[in-house]
Structure 1
């Protein structure tokens, strides 16, 4: 931290640096009030950036003299946000700290995160039955809003019901916290989905009897994300077949030498990531997201790879700037991310920021798949199992039947912004890079 001592007892407490590219943050909540005594390294406030929420500790033991940045205010890194009157005794031995909350808490403090009270098992309030549902038209959800939703177990469907105050109907952090303070009145409300006047019927389907298994939190989030994606993006899936014989033969001939030279296993995933990154670079409009009526063309090419966790849930670790890395670097990152996934040690920054995703359904023996787009991306590639088949090969001297290693590729794309020509051309280019492997 870069707090600077301005007098023998008053410290100017500055907003610390939160990350390499972070220049500012939003004060979510002060956990102390003016006049409170604090210990060194005691958490005194929560700060949100566009990437993650952070808890910030006090640099000294003392008393909070002034709070200069209120909740919801945006402050620059290095800006003074509070003044602390430091105690004379700054030894590491902590004083006894009262766990009792201050009687007069700041009116602008955000609600405490009582996660247990916000799970799906909570009882609906009487207001939920009469709450009017107005689905938000702006479907863009920022990373910060997603993090808040995860903390409070708020689904994408519920987020879409929260009244918005942002520009062009965008959901703001303050909208979400206000909604939480009101008791989440739309949590249990059932929206009526209409298409040309047709209402989806509330069918009382027989679900059968058997063991009831409650979804874990990650499975609930995956389910919400998938439903949200299908509701948001009109999915179209295209297919091609690729001859991976050259790639398979090269890998079989070089994987041992590759591991001896670089100390990394050479699976097919790094080869796929490298080829897909090249194709994305050729077709940059596949590397976009939709923000209301705008298209955001991404500067970076970050390839996500759907990976199974030990629990059976899926997570998407990300190879950042894949188009700028060679095969050995991609292989190293892919292996490290896969290992962390198996050990449940992936960090938030390692699973965020993807601009295009690959799902290798062939790992499970599937011939092909129809993947669901990983929002807010606009396309996702599924790679099927590599299977040897007898194929007719055309040569100048005539046709021949040969044993070839074949694979089906399928691309699901968002038809709002990706038409058939772009989707089909991109998919064919990926297959060409697989086939022309050298």
Structure 2
């Protein structure tokens, strides 16, 4: 099962396009896989034959798990190593064992689809942890992913996992399982409270809603959330947009919504405060080179997805409008690809779209912060003028920033949030389109 984006730990097999025993050509779609972000087809890395399928349609499979055994076609010849290395697996007891010797190209005729390379005796998870076939067998039986195994402390030589380590981990209730509560060092255990949940119509959560639920719980469990608020006067921005939106669409063929204007302001503020564009990796803070802005978008099903505007700081307004309109259109038509939803470094959630005054969004892991923009509402405001204070009708909007207090402090968050509001308020009324 290949990795299809950051924070993706598993995928659901929707459909097999090639049956066992059927032949296929390099690049043919073998199966379709769904994640909490998008649905993707997995192409064949070479021409060959489908020997066996390890999972059925509808099965949820961890990233890195073997999903099928393929036989390399003799006419394929030597191939260059693919961008994602294939895990070699020898099946001495399979019907294709007689075809298992390595060919001139160095690729076994019996090869499994995987996202990491290994020898027949062990699997390399990272530079420090090795998983023996025995541990791997126990992990598969208990549906433990390689990512989860990597979190278990090993007592063997060089930190190697032993059977006893895994047995103890299972006996302790798998405390490092994704989106599962972890007991505090104080020994506090979450009580099993018997709530009366009432009676009514039972609706089973769909696959995407389950994954969103896991992702949100994981984010709240991982990051200590703090939220800051500011208010911005968007009167000039709204006036400029209303004045120029028709000419903008006529000139560029793109609708001018508030989204590209918000993305533009946020990108400028990130350039001023680069530490907000970071992620935590253990005890290290990774300050991202690129500024990729995610846009939280509602799908027709009601579920949430985050398409990403890549290199937003390097795009002009016309390019930002084209990018945001294209991504929003793909989301509405369920045509987003994995690349459209991967690589975000900061996310914007426009809760004002639904009429909300403001919101307290949950951080899109592994980012450090997320911005929510509320509804733009006309209100009577006291304006300080040189000739005295006046009461005027202004178009106001609340901005809220939820940030990870492990790596972002109040001063940085407050300064960054205020800078976004300043960029929104300092709209050049003479700006040419």
Common fold: TM-score over 0.5: yes
Q: Is 2:370–2:401's contact at 8 Å kept on the other side of the alignment?
A: yes
Q: Deviations over 1:267-310 (max 9, x none)?
A: 10010001100001110000001111111110000000000100
Query: 1:194: how far off?
Result: 2.3
Q: Is 1:383–1:409's contact at 8 Å kept on the other side of the alignment?
A: yes
| 2:211 counterpart SS class | helix
| Partner residue in 2 for 1:366 | 356
Query: 1:189: how far off?
Result: 12
58, 61, 66: which is aligned to 2:46?
58
Q: Distance in 2 between matches of 1:344 and 1:350?
A: 12
Q: Is 1:37–1:64's contact at 8 Å kept on the other side of the alignment?
A: no
410, 415, 418: which is aligned to 1:428?
418
Q: Is 1:358–1:382's contact at 8 Å kept on the other side of the alignment?
A: yes
Structure 1 residues 368 and 191: alpha-carbon distance in aligned structure 2, compared to 1, 3 A threshold: closer
Question: What is the correspondence of 1:220-235 to structure 2 with a 5 Å cutoff?
Answer: 220-235=210-225
Q: Deviations over 1:393-438 (max 9, x none)?
A: 0011110100000000000000000000000000000000010011
| 1:306 counterpart SS class | strand
403, 414, 417: which is aligned to 2:407?
417
Residue ranges of structure 1 left out of the alignment (5+ in a row):
1-35, 47-51, 83-100, 113-137, 139-151, 170-174
Report the more deviating stretch, 380-389 or 196-205. 196-205
| Partner residue in 2 for 1:102 | 95
| Partner residue in 2 for 1:246 | 236
265, 288, 294: which is aligned to 1:304?
294
Q: Is 1:38–1:64's contact at 8 Å kept on the other side of the alignment?
A: no
| Partner residue in 1 for 2:269 | 279
**Number of aligned pairs?**
326
Structure 1 residues 191 and 353: alpha-carbon distance in aligned structure 2, compared to 1, 3 A threshold: closer
Q: Deviations over 1:132-187 (max 9, x none)?
A: xxxxxx9xxxxxxxxxxxxx9x99xx769922179999xxxxx9xxx9xxx9x958
179, 191, 199: which is aligned to 1:209?
199
148, 151, 156: which is aligned to 1:162?
148
Q: Distance in 1 between matches of 2:278 and 2:47?
A: 42
Residue ranges of structure 2 left out of the alignment (5+ in a row):
1-20, 32-39, 50-71, 89-93, 101-107, 115-125, 127-139, 156-160, 429-433
Q: Is 1:302–1:320's contact at 8 Å kept on the other side of the alignment?
A: yes
The answer as to 2:390 corresponding to 1:392 is no
TM-score (norm 2): 0.65
Q: Distance in 2 between matches of 1:284 and 1:189?
A: 29
284, 293, 314: which is aligned to 1:324?
314
Q: Is 1:265–1:335's contact at 8 Å kept on the other side of the alignment?
A: yes
| Partner residue in 2 for 1:122 | none
| 1:241 counterpart SS class | strand
Q: Is 1:68–1:80's contact at 8 Å kept on the other side of the alignment?
A: no
What is the root-mean-square deviation of aligned Cα atoms in Å? Answer: 4.4
319, 340, 355: which is aligned to 1:350?
340
Structure 1 residues 272 and 44: alpha-carbon distance in aligned structure 2, compared to 1, 3 A threshold: closer
Structure 1 residues 401 and 54: alpha-carbon distance in aligned structure 2, compared to 1, 3 A threshold: same
| Partner residue in 1 for 2:259 | 269
